[in-house]
Amino acid sequence: MADRYLTFTGTAPGRFLTRRLGLPQPAELRRWSAERPGLDGGLLHLTAGKSDLDLPPVLARAGLGEDETGRPAAVVVDASGIRDVEGLAEVHAALHPVVRSVAASGRIVVLGAPLDPADHHQAAAQQALEGFTRSLGKEIGRGRTVNLVRLTDARAAESTLAFLLSPKSAYVSGQVIEVGGHDPVVPDDPDRPLAGRTALVTGAARGIGEAVAETLARDGAQVVVLDVPGAEQDARRVADRLGGTALPLDITAPDAGARIAEALPDGIDVLVHNAGITRDRRLVNMSAERWIQVLEVNLASVLRTTDALLSSGSLKQGGRIVATASIAGIAGNAGQTNYGASKAGVTGLVRCLAPRALAEHGVTVNAVAPGFIETKMTAAVPLFIREAGRRMNSLAQGGLPADVAETTAWLAHPASGAVNGQVVRVCGQSLLGA
């Protein structure tokens, strides 16, 4: 369903009226397209404190030249060397003169360091960057985003910086992403980084799952479209369009993992847990059946299938698991105790399994946590609730399935091996939760 309010605020009368009434003024976001794959403008690289990061070659490969206009499309502030409260003044000094000049739909990325458990002054200063970043994201406006990346090695963060400094991250703001030390895998074809890899997407016959399958196929993956037998016709339609294969299967079946392994004897490089359902009721009115259905599809099947595919070796070395969490599992949502529990469970799975899966199987485990995404399901939400969902984020609009798909594709990228155990919210920096 079209966002008429967003369209209206893009007109002269709409801008005048919303400004006078103090109403949200969302800006149309620049998203990736084949015709315009990058941001329009250059990059401004600033440093606060003393840094040991070798950033220039990594930033050059992000596709943005040096800004020469005074209106940068992106600003990267390297604050990884900040170790005390006094050093935070350098962050202010670096950004204060330029923040107003950042182009519409521009990007600000602050680089920080992991918190040093042996130095509470450094830890306090680096944690302060999180509050700074989230706050700036809520005030900067005009479709611009602000994110924090904690890293120790610029090369390991190359895929992350390329994502955050591109139109692909249009609906990702106010996030803190930790990147470990890991030698990146450089794909042969940067435009098709998943070429030669097999990606299985559950719940892929429609909606967000279909968008994820489409984006992974664009990036070169051989996509397997998994959905329930009742959606087989839609699944085959999507698979045929993408040059992939359909796999009709109830993901809640006890032997689903074994049947996937049997159907894909050559293994899987990317596993995307997207299948999910809602059965909303307040707890006082929720039957045991509604509770069990949601927990079974959204969480239990994810656990069983992941365990089966890891133990069988079906997930290849260097593989990627990307699960779908939700801001409902982070902030909670009235009428969704079952859904919120299931999605919070996904977050627990990711954070606990990630280090072990990487050490034992060479597989990373991450999650995307969508906020209000414009789908057929949200189009059926009552008008006032729908409008609240759209406006209650820093970008004052709903996201698109493509926003979740692009974030998934970044986490699935061969060069994203240093990103592990992360839950990245795709919510326009929702005002709900952190």
pLDDT in tens, the chain (434 residues): 788 889 989 899 988 898 988 888 899 999 999 999 999 999 999 999 999 999 999 999 888 999 889 999 999 999 999 999 999 999 999 999 999 999 999 999 999 999 999 999 999 999 999 999 999 999 999 999 999 999 999 999 999 999 999 999 999 999 999 999 877 888 999 999 999 999 999 999 999 999 999 999 999 999 999 999 999 999 999 999 999 999 999 999 999 999 999 999 999 999 999 999 999 999 999 999 999 999 999 999 999 999 999 999 999 999 999 999 999 999 998 999 999 999 999 999 999 999 999 999 999 999 999 999 998 877 777 777 888 889 999 999 999 999 999 999 999 999 999 999 999 999 999 987 65
The 3-state DSSP class for residue 201 equals strand
Question: Cα–Cα distance between 273 and 188 in angstroms, integer?
Answer: 27
Return the H-helix or E-strand segment holding 308: helix 301-311
Give Cα 14 distance to the centre of its chain. 31
Of residues 420, 389, 373, the one with CA closest to residue 170: 373
Output Rg (C-alpha) for the chain, integer angstroms. Answer: 21
Decide: residue 351, CB within 10 A, 0-12 exposed, 13-18 middle, 19+ buried: middle
Using N-to-C axis directions, what is the helix angle for 256-263 and 301-311, rounded to 10°? 50
Model pLDDT, residue 383: 76
Question: Cα–Cα distance between 428 and 138 in angstroms, integer?
Answer: 10
Q: Confirm whether 319 is domain-assigned.
A: yes
Yes or no: say if 260 and 247 are a contact pair by the CB < 8 Å rule.
Answer: yes
Model pLDDT, residue 375: 86
Output the six-digit token pair for 353.
Answer: 């399994």
Output the six-digit token pair for 132.
Answer: 């700074």
Do residues 17 and 43 both lie within one domain?
no
Question: Cα–Cα distance between 259 and 252 in angstroms, integer?
Answer: 12
Do residues 408 and 313 both lie within one domain?
yes
Yes or no: say if 166 and 158 are a contact pair by the CB < 8 Å rule.
Answer: no
Model pLDDT, residue 434: 55
- The HSE-up count of residue 417 (CA atoms within 13 Å, CB side) is 20
Model pLDDT, residue 291: 97
Model pLDDT, residue 103: 97
Last residue of a domain, one of 147, 178, 209: 178
Query: Which residue out of 163, 171, 339, 372 is catalytically annotated?
Result: 339
Q: Confirm whether 433 is domain-assigned.
A: no
Model pLDDT, residue 391: 93
Q: Across 283-422, where does the E strand assignment appear? A: 315-324, 364-370
Q: Rounded to 10 degrees, what is the CA torsion of 123, 178, 142, 135? A: -20
Question: Cα–Cα distance between 321 and 272 in angstroms, integer?
Answer: 6
Do residues 79 and 54 both lie within one domain?
yes
Do residues 16 and 38 both lie within one domain?
no
**Identity of the amino acid at 210:** E
Which domain covers residue 1, as residue numbers? 1-25
Yes or no: say if 390 and 344 are a contact pair by the CB < 8 Å rule.
Answer: no
Q: Confirm whether 60 is domain-assigned.
A: yes
Question: Cα–Cα distance between 335 and 294 in angstroms, integer?
Answer: 13
Do residues 412 and 280 both lie within one domain?
yes
Return the H-helix or E-strand segment holding 228: none
Q: Confirm whether 107 is domain-assigned.
A: yes
Do residues 323 and 338 both lie within one domain?
yes
Do residues 108 and 206 both lie within one domain?
no
The 3-state DSSP class for residue 278 equals coil
Q: Tell me whether residue 339 is one of the annotated catalytic residues.
A: yes
Do residues 106 and 203 both lie within one domain?
no
Q: Confirm whether 131 is domain-assigned.
A: yes
Domain harbouring 62, CATH code? 3.40.50.720
Q: Confirm whether 297 is domain-assigned.
A: yes
Question: Cα–Cα distance between 98 and 69 in angstroms, integer?
Answer: 12
Contacts of 92 (CB under 8 A, 6+ apart): none
∠ CA 206-373-100, nearest 5°, is 140
Model pLDDT, residue 314: 97
Do residues 6 and 141 both lie within one domain?
no
Do residues 100 and 158 both lie within one domain?
yes
Number of domains in the chain: 3
Do residues 358 and 320 both lie within one domain?
yes
Do residues 355 and 215 both lie within one domain?
yes
Model pLDDT, residue 399: 97
Give Cα 49 distance to the centre of its chain. 29
Output the six-digit token pair for 300.
Answer: 């239990």
Question: Cα–Cα distance between 281 and 300 in angstroms, integer?
Answer: 20
Yes or no: say if 258 and 314 are a contact pair by the CB < 8 Å rule.
Answer: no
The 3-state DSSP class for residue 324 equals strand
Handedness of CA 348, 354, 357, 359 (dihedral sign): negative
Question: Cα–Cα distance between 214 and 243 in angstroms, integer?
Answer: 10
Model pLDDT, residue 150: 98
Q: Confirm whether 263 is domain-assigned.
A: yes
Handedness of CA 184, 189, 191, 193 (dihedral sign): negative
Of residues 54, 79, 49, the one with CA closest to residue 154: 54
Q: Confirm whether 298 is domain-assigned.
A: yes
